Chain A
Amino acid sequence: MLTVLLSIFVALTPPIDTLPPAYAKAFKETLPLEKVASPVSYLLPAELKTEGVVGQGRLSALVPSLLIPEYGASLTSTIYLRGIGSRMENPSMGLYVDGIPIMDKNAYDFDWTGIRFAALMRGPQATLYGRNSMSGTLVLQSASPDGTTHVNAYAEAGLAKTVRTGATVSFGQHVLTAGFKYNAGWNRNEYKGTLCDPYQGLSLRWKWEQVPSGKIRWSNSLFATLSKEGGFAYGLYENGTLHPVSYNGEGSYRRISVIDGVGFHYTGDSFTLDGTGSLQLLSDDMRMDQDYTPENIFTLRQAQNSATGTAEVILRSQKEHWQPSTGVFTFYRFNRMDAPVTFGRTGIENLILDNANRNIPEDIGYLSIPDDEILIDSDFGIHTFGAALFHESVFTLGRWRLTAGLRLDYEGGVMAYDCLANLHYRFFPTMKADKPLAVPYRGTVTHSSGLQVLPKLSALFEASKVVSFYGNVSKGYRAGGFNTQIFSDILQSQTMMALMSDLGVYLDNLPASVGAGHTRYKPESAWNFEAGVRLVKDHFRAEATFYYMDVRNQQLTVFPPGKSTGRMMTNAGASRSLGAEAELDWRPGEFHFHASYAWCDARFVAYNDGNHDYSGNRIPYVPAHTAFASAAWRHSFNAISLNLSASVRAYGPLSWDETGLLQEPVHIRPEARIALSFKKWEIWLRGENLTGRTGRNFYFKSVGREFFSLERPRNIILGISINI
């Protein structure tokens, strides 16, 4: 492959294409991206537009080893990168927007109107980027003021009444961006006869940058999103048949997210000082029919109000052969969560009464609950806090660039839970009337990640001005936390025990259950060993990487056995990811070719859930391959340009569960775009998922039943933009 790539260079003589300085400052590295000993994929504004990257999900396969399936709702943000990921709680990929670390996964998924640059560094980036940057870090940068006044506005409309529109106004030291997105929904809820996943959202961004002197730069970035959507388009999977979406409860998600970050940069004679601070507020409300059927079993509401503060200071020194960076980081987050679960009549009978009466001999009697609904109310107050001290030194020795880094990271948390179940019951034939029963469950649990020691060693050798070889060893970690979603199971169990105790009946074989003490899960950590080669010449850039990741205490979402209603994060033991990645970007003349490919073999090394040993099996949801290829041609005549592009992205196969018995074949999604550009205008027509094939993109179990969701169908989008 290397020989092939090198031979291509012979014919290339276009000018040097480097990353614009405005985007280079999005990174914490002291080196330019070409000199960093980690694989990096990045998209400039034109590529974001051409590939229709309007959110994180559109990066799937475009970035090697990355899959972000779009299902559920905006809070879902399931990210798999290099075989690492999970559906809930902390993400395995860090996200920085304008230098601000996004601390809440519920805020990860937003409309990228106003985003001008995206880069994803793969592999652990914990030394500089900290918690959760275990499989990689996504860095986004919005438009920055450049002192001029200009306006960029766009509008596009597609199938399913998809509408996106937005405008960015830049003047003086300010950039204002507003975006609106709407779609009527893609999936019909057969029970209700309506589309279940409509979306409407508004995003607002204000960025201010001031350079009062050559040495000082101030900035402020305020970002707010408001969204209201449906979601949870999950169809029942029975005997090999996937049924249409059909549920009777409410499925919705509303979110308000406000993030404000302040940046400070000082350039001294021999050093630079960077400081950032942020305040991140999120208020959301999710309502879900958690049995996803027309039956009246149980529903969940999960409303969060969280506030997070972060602060970071980095001191850098620029010496000829030594560039050290030393920094401190701290954060505090408080999340008030209200998560009531309501059992309907069918749920009371199937999940509560059936379980209880199964264990009571008929000749003794039977239990009855007359309520139409049982509310199990759960309130949580979760405090999370952390601090880190880090250092990274880059040594330049001739053609060698050696990097040594270390981060000491501590994180802890306290969760206060206040749960209450209220119901009436009656035992036949002994009781003559219904009796009220209130079951409180209150307490506090704590967790600590301990002191995480996150080292990094890397070396990059510039074999020539074109070719670099690199290798690195680094460790990353994903924070631990608390399982709140298992509390519905805990409360069911507590309620049943309290009821039986009140009744004076004691079952010999109590159903298995966990208590609040079991709701904490440990941090996950990964050692990464990788070697790569990078070729950069003029308008050609190529990179190939081989990696091995050793993951300990892997966090996996599991469902307790039986007709359980909750799900929980567990530390599954150990796994490893072995993979290779390649990416190529070539822009000869009026053409632009881009391709990426990744192979990932992610398997459990040790995972026994108590019933089965899954060691050696593939980690679920992780595609064995991701691939992307695009070709674009731009031809200008007079003041008009014709832009044609076509691409295809593919990923798979993958396993849907730990057994590996339920598999998903490779998904292939071709796309195409045609655009006419004038001096200030551009109109375009873009087609996504042109084959119209809707493969399955998510699987889970609930109450012993299996469900799938499907990818979005074909979409044809017509758009127009203006630059003034």
Chain B
Amino acid sequence: MKANKLFVALTALVLMACNKQPEVIVPQKADFKGTVTVEYKGEPYDNENIEVKFTPSEDGKTASLTIYKIRFVPQMPVTIDVTIPNIELTATTTEITLKCDEVIPLAMGGEYPRYKVTNLKGVIDHGTLDFSLNFGDFPTSFTGRQLLK
């Protein structure tokens, strides 16, 4: 009797294991560090060692990206922090894709329409973040790796 019960339990366990599906990635807060490249007058202008904070909403459907100390053109005497809100997220079992057709970024304490964000596309995949967008007239891209805490 005892042997029968043990067999049934093991069989159920094996069946459960065989039925497990890959889980969809749940977006989590993360910091990345990499290079922002701004296309200025047709030439790439690199901002190296730039930190980007990825902050998803509670429901995981949207997120914001904050780019720290970015310089859009070499002549800028200051660097600024820019936050891109309301980015749509799509999570799969292997990656999170980012998408935003148009949004006004936040900088210097409020909305900053001069550098309106359009055509943002990106992906978080295995600890890397890549995205591209237009900051106003400046095509911009970022490639960086997640900072381990």
What residues of chain A have their CB less than 8 Å away from a CB belonging to chain B? 359-361, 363-365, 426-427, 429-432, 435, 503-509
- Could you tell me if B77 and A361 are in contact, using CB atoms closer than 8 angstroms? yes
A361 to B79, CA, bound (A): 11
Residue of A nearest to B76 (CB): A361
- Could you tell me if A430 and B109 are in contact, using CB atoms closer than 8 angstroms? yes
- Could you tell me if A503 and B78 are in contact, using CB atoms closer than 8 angstroms? no
- Could you tell me if B79 and A364 are in contact, using CB atoms closer than 8 angstroms? no
- A435 CB contacts on chain B under 8 angstroms: 109
- Could you tell me if B110 and A432 are in contact, using CB atoms closer than 8 angstroms? yes
A507 to B107, CA, bound (A): 15
A306 to B10, CA, bound (A): 82
- A431 CB contacts on chain B under 8 angstroms: 108-110
Chain B residue total in the interface (Cβ 8 A): 16
A363 to B80, CA, bound (A): 14
Per-residue 0/1 for B64-91: is the Cβ within 8 Å of any A Cβ (1 yes, 0 no)? 0000110000001111111000000000
User: Mind listing 30 A-B residue pairs with CB under 8 Å?
Assistant: A359-B77, A360-B77, A360-B78, A361-B77, A363-B114, A364-B78, A364-B80, A364-B108, A427-B108, A427-B109, A427-B110, A429-B110, A430-B108, A431-B109, A432-B110, A503-B108, A503-B109, A504-B81, A504-B109, A505-B78, A505-B79, A505-B80, A506-B69, A506-B78, A506-B80, A507-B77, A507-B78, A508-B77, A508-B78, A509-B77
User: What secondary structure prevails in chain A residues at the interface with B?
Assistant: loop
A504 to B108, CA, bound (A): 6
A363 to B108, CA, bound (A): 13
- Could you tell me if B112 and A430 are in contact, using CB atoms closer than 8 angstroms? yes
User: What secondary structure prevails in chain B residues at the interface with A?
Assistant: strand
- B81 CB contacts on chain A under 8 angstroms: 504-505
- Could you tell me if A365 and B77 are in contact, using CB atoms closer than 8 angstroms? no
Residue from A361, A426, A429, A432 in contact with B78 in the complex, judged by beta carbons closer than 8 Å? A361
Residue from A429, A432, A504 in contact with B80 in the complex, judged by beta carbons closer than 8 Å? A504
A50 to B18, CA, bound (A): 114
Q: Give the A-B contact count at a CB cut-off of 8 A.
A: 52
- A508 CB contacts on chain B under 8 angstroms: 77-79
A505 to B107, CA, bound (A): 9
- B109 CB contacts on chain A under 8 angstroms: 426-427, 430-431, 435, 503-504
A506 to B50, CA, bound (A): 14
Q: Is B102 interfacial (CB-CB < 8 Å)?
A: no
Residue of A nearest to B81 (CB): A504
Nearest-neighbour CB distance to chain A for B138, whole angstroms, equals 14
Q: A427-B109, A429-B110, A506-B69 are in contact. List 16 more A-B contacts (CB 8 A).
A: A359-B77, A363-B114, A364-B78, A365-B108, A427-B108, A430-B107, A431-B108, A431-B109, A503-B108, A504-B68, A504-B82, A504-B107, A506-B78, A506-B79, A507-B78, A508-B78
Q: Is B111 interfacial (CB-CB < 8 Å)?
A: yes
- Could you tell me if A359 and B112 are in contact, using CB atoms closer than 8 angstroms? no
Nearest-neighbour CB distance to chain A for B45, whole angstroms, equals 15
- A363 CB contacts on chain B under 8 angstroms: 114
Residue of B nearest to A504 (CB): B81
Residue of B nearest to A508 (CB): B77
Nearest-neighbour CB distance to chain B for A433, whole angstroms, equals 9
Q: Name the residue in A361, A427, A430, A503 with the highest tally of chain B Cβ atoms < 10 Å from its Cβ.
A: A430
- A426 CB contacts on chain B under 8 angstroms: 109
- B69 CB contacts on chain A under 8 angstroms: 506
- A507 CB contacts on chain B under 8 angstroms: 77-78
Residue from B76, B77, B79, B110 in contact with A430 in the complex, judged by beta carbons closer than 8 Å? B110
A360 to B81, CA, bound (A): 14
Per-residue 0/1 for B40-80: is the Cβ within 8 Å of any A Cβ (1 yes, 0 no)? 00000000000000000000000000001100000011111
Per-residue 0/1 for B106-133: is the Cβ within 8 Å of any A Cβ (1 yes, 0 no)? 0111111010000000000000000000
Nearest-neighbour CB distance to chain A for B17, whole angstroms, equals 50
List CB contacts (< 8 Å) of B16-49 with chain A.
none
Q: Name the residue in B68, B76, B110 with the highest tally of chain A Cβ atoms < 10 Å from its Cβ.
A: B110
- A364 CB contacts on chain B under 8 angstroms: 78, 80, 108
- A361 CB contacts on chain B under 8 angstroms: 76-78
- Could you tell me if B78 and A430 are in contact, using CB atoms closer than 8 angstroms? no
Residue of B nearest to A360 (CB): B78
Residue of A nearest to B83 (CB): A504
Q: Which 8 interchain pairs have the tightest Cβ spacing?
A: A504-B81, A430-B110, A431-B109, A430-B108, A431-B110, A506-B79, A427-B108, A427-B109
Residue of B nearest to A502 (CB): B109
Residue of A nearest to B110 (CB): A430
A503 to B77, CA, bound (A): 15
- A509 CB contacts on chain B under 8 angstroms: 77
- A503 CB contacts on chain B under 8 angstroms: 108-109
- Could you tell me if A430 and B111 are in contact, using CB atoms closer than 8 angstroms? yes
Q: Name the residue in B68, B69, B82, B108 with the highest tally of chain A Cβ atoms < 10 Å from its Cβ.
A: B108
Nearest-neighbour CB distance to chain A for B116, whole angstroms, equals 13
A361 to B73, CA, bound (A): 12
Nearest-neighbour CB distance to chain B for A98, whole angstroms, equals 62
A506 to B107, CA, bound (A): 12
- B79 CB contacts on chain A under 8 angstroms: 505-506, 508
A363 to B109, CA, bound (A): 16
A260 to B77, CA, bound (A): 60
Residue of A nearest to B77 (CB): A508
- Could you tell me if B77 and A505 are in contact, using CB atoms closer than 8 angstroms? no
- B111 CB contacts on chain A under 8 angstroms: 430
- B110 CB contacts on chain A under 8 angstroms: 427, 429-432
Nearest-neighbour CB distance to chain B for A359, whole angstroms, equals 6
Nearest-neighbour CB distance to chain A for B40, whole angstroms, equals 15
Residue of B nearest to A506 (CB): B79
Residue of B nearest to A430 (CB): B110
Nearest-neighbour CB distance to chain A for B84, whole angstroms, equals 13
Nearest-neighbour CB distance to chain A for B48, whole angstroms, equals 15
- A365 CB contacts on chain B under 8 angstroms: 108
Q: Name the residue in A363, A431, A504 with the highest tally of chain B Cβ atoms < 10 Å from its Cβ.
A: A504
- A359 CB contacts on chain B under 8 angstroms: 77-78
Nearest-neighbour CB distance to chain B for A584, whole angstroms, equals 67
Residue of A nearest to B71 (CB): A508
A430 to B104, CA, bound (A): 11
A435 to B68, CA, bound (A): 21
A364 to B110, CA, bound (A): 12
A359 to B80, CA, bound (A): 13
- B112 CB contacts on chain A under 8 angstroms: 430
Residue of A nearest to B79 (CB): A506
Nearest-neighbour CB distance to chain B for A460, whole angstroms, equals 69
Nearest-neighbour CB distance to chain B for A390, whole angstroms, equals 58
A443 to B89, CA, bound (A): 45
A504 to B79, CA, bound (A): 8
Nearest-neighbour CB distance to chain A for B27, whole angstroms, equals 24
- B78 CB contacts on chain A under 8 angstroms: 359-361, 364, 505-508
Residue of A nearest to B109 (CB): A431
A344 to B69, CA, bound (A): 32
A426 to B69, CA, bound (A): 20
- B80 CB contacts on chain A under 8 angstroms: 364, 504-506
Nearest-neighbour CB distance to chain B for A436, whole angstroms, equals 12
A509 to B79, CA, bound (A): 11
A174 to B82, CA, bound (A): 78
- B108 CB contacts on chain A under 8 angstroms: 364-365, 427, 430-431, 503-505
Residue of A nearest to B111 (CB): A430
A506 to B108, CA, bound (A): 11
Nearest-neighbour CB distance to chain B for A366, whole angstroms, equals 10
Nearest-neighbour CB distance to chain A for B71, whole angstroms, equals 9
Nearest-neighbour CB distance to chain B for A354, whole angstroms, equals 16
Nearest-neighbour CB distance to chain B for A501, whole angstroms, equals 9
Nearest-neighbour CB distance to chain A for B121, whole angstroms, equals 24
- A427 CB contacts on chain B under 8 angstroms: 108-110
Nearest-neighbour CB distance to chain B for A18, whole angstroms, equals 75
A655 to B24, CA, bound (A): 79
